[in-house]
Every structure is written in C-alpha cells, then in structure tokens.
Amino acid sequence: MLSVSVSGYLAAIRWEWFRLQRRVGFWAVIAIFGLAVALSLVGAIASQSFLPTRFNLPAHAFPNVVFETLARLGPFFSVVLAGFVFGAEFGWGTWRTLSARGRGREQIVLPKMLLGGCVLVVVWATAWCASSLVGLVAGGSSATELGTALPGFPDGWGATAINFWSTLPAAAAYLTLGVLLCMAGRSTAFGVGVGIAIVIAESAGIPLLRALAALWWEVDLDGYLRWTLRGVSDGLSGKDELHSAVFLPALLAYMTVFCTVSLWIIRIRDLDSGNG
C-alpha cells in the first residue's frame, strides 16, 4: 500500500500545492480567516485603550486572544479546506485524471491529507507569529500586569503556547472529518455543508442538549458529550477537568478512523467522470 517512496509522496504533495495555490477561492478563505484573526487582535488592542480602567494586557495574552478565535473558527476552516483539497475533484471528475497511469488511490489521498495538514500548520504558525509580534509591540512588558489576573488568561508564554497549539490537532481532526464527508458524499457541497452543520450542532446544540437534559430529566450528559469531537478538542485545550493526555489519544483515534474510512471508500468505489 505504501510502496511509493517518500520522494514520490513529496512530489505528489508538491503538485497538489501547485494546483491548490492557483485557486482564488482558497486564498479568499485564507483571507477571511486571517481577517478574523486580525480583528481579534485589534479588539485586544482596543480593549486596552477604551476600557474605563486603562490597563496593559501582557504580551503573551495576545496569542491567547487569537487562540479563542482559532478554537471557534478552526473547525469551519478545516472543513472548508477539506472541500477545496478533496471534494472539488469529484465535481470536476479529476479523481480519474489523478488515478490514471496506475496510481493507487492511497497515492492520491495521503498526499492530499498531508497537504491539508501542512496548510493548517502554516496558517497556525503565521497566526502565532503575528499575534506574538503584536503582543510584544502593543502588550505590557511584564507578566505581573493586570491582564494576568483576569480569568482565562494563562500565566506565561509556555501555558499560552500549549493553549494555542492545542487547537491545531483539533483542527486536523475536523479536516479529516471533512475529508470523510466529501468522500462519502462525493461532493464539496455535501462534505462542507454537512461538516459545517456538524460543527454548528456541536458548538450550539450540545450545550443546549446538556442543559435540557439536566433541567428536564435531571440527567448529566457530560460524561457522554465530552467524547464528541468538539468535546475532545475542548478537553485538549484544558477546558475540561480531564487531563489533556486523555484527550489527545481520543483525538488521534477519531482522525485514524476518519482517514481509514475515507481511504477505504475511495479504494472500493468506481470513479466517475464528474459533471463537467
């Protein structure tokens, strides 16, 4: 299955990127995501100036502000990215083009997944660098300033980094979910549409379900709902009382299952010629 050399996979990733970087829509999504990150930083800067009690947020608080944005929007970004990298090939029929000349289906899917992962890493790294830079310029210089006392802010760069980067595996898990949905539905519209619906349902519906269950039936659903994809990703970033070491294997298990099923689907299915 993995008979192709590492150089073969690297070349495949290169040519995936060759095509992805020429898509205007891809850059539009990156721009929207970047705008959301920028706005959160602007908001943090503004909060220092316009609050009645003027204070300086510590520098490391700025990446933490961005972390909140990434945690909320990251799953949406990942699902849309999956649509760009995987789903669109169904509509164009280019799965056939890619699988010509005896290329195994895994030789197509794995480089695409790796490219998706690389894009996430680059986007996250850019957001980290940008927010850290803004923090160093606009934030307070001391960790003892008022910002550290505010609830929810980590007490140093190390804790901030853990928070920030914990959203990356969570985003990767949603990327694999998006891939699975695109593969199962053979379309971008299905994959992205259902993926976004799942993200919204998890974000909004699950807390509602939890509250209703507790209120009406006096049942505590926490134990169950914690193991949804969202629950696991929140748990990884320290929003749950369980240690993150429990959540990381769970997230990896989700990703492994999603990737394996996606690969299985594309291997057993006939490839049609798309719809133009």
Please report, as ranges, the residues that interact with other proteins according to CB under 8 A. Answer: 3, 8, 11-12, 14-15, 18-19, 22-24, 92-94, 96-104, 268, 270-271, 273-274
User: Residue 101 — left, alpha, or beta (φ > 0 → left; ψ -120 to 50 → alpha)?
Assistant: left
Distances, alpha carbon 209 to alpha carbons 139, 201, 206, 247, in Å: 39, 10, 5, 22
Min separation Cβ 29 and other proteins, Å: 15
Min separation Cβ 95 and other proteins, Å: 9
Min separation Cβ 221 and other proteins, Å: 42
Q: How far apart are CA 126 and CA 165, in angstroms?
A: 12
Q: For residues 109 and 168, which CB has a smaller minimum distance to other proteins in the complex?
A: 109
Residue 124 CB coordination number (10 Å): 19
First-residue to last-residue Cα distance in the chain: 31
Min separation Cβ 99 and other proteins, Å: 7
Min separation Cβ 90 and other proteins, Å: 11
Min separation Cβ 31 and other proteins, Å: 17
Q: For residues 56 and 94, which CB has a smaller minimum distance to other proteins in the complex?
A: 94
Q: Which residue type, as a one-letter code, is found at position 104?
A: G
Q: For residues 59 and 88, which CB has a smaller minimum distance to other proteins in the complex?
A: 88
Q: For residues 98 and 172, which CB has a smaller minimum distance to other proteins in the complex?
A: 98
Q: For residues 54 and 101, which CB has a smaller minimum distance to other proteins in the complex?
A: 101
Measured in degrees and rounded to the nearest 5, phi and psi for residue 58 equal -65, 155
Q: How far apart are CA 61 and CA 75, in angstroms?
A: 22
Sign of the CA dihedral running 71, 76, 81, 87: positive
Q: For residues 17 and 224, which CB has a smaller minimum distance to other proteins in the complex?
A: 17
Q: How far apart are CA 157 and CA 143, in angstroms?
A: 9
Q: For residues 25 and 156, which CB has a smaller minimum distance to other proteins in the complex?
A: 25
Min separation Cβ 247 and other proteins, Å: 37
Closest to 192 (Cα-Cα) out of 203, 205, 182, 202: 182
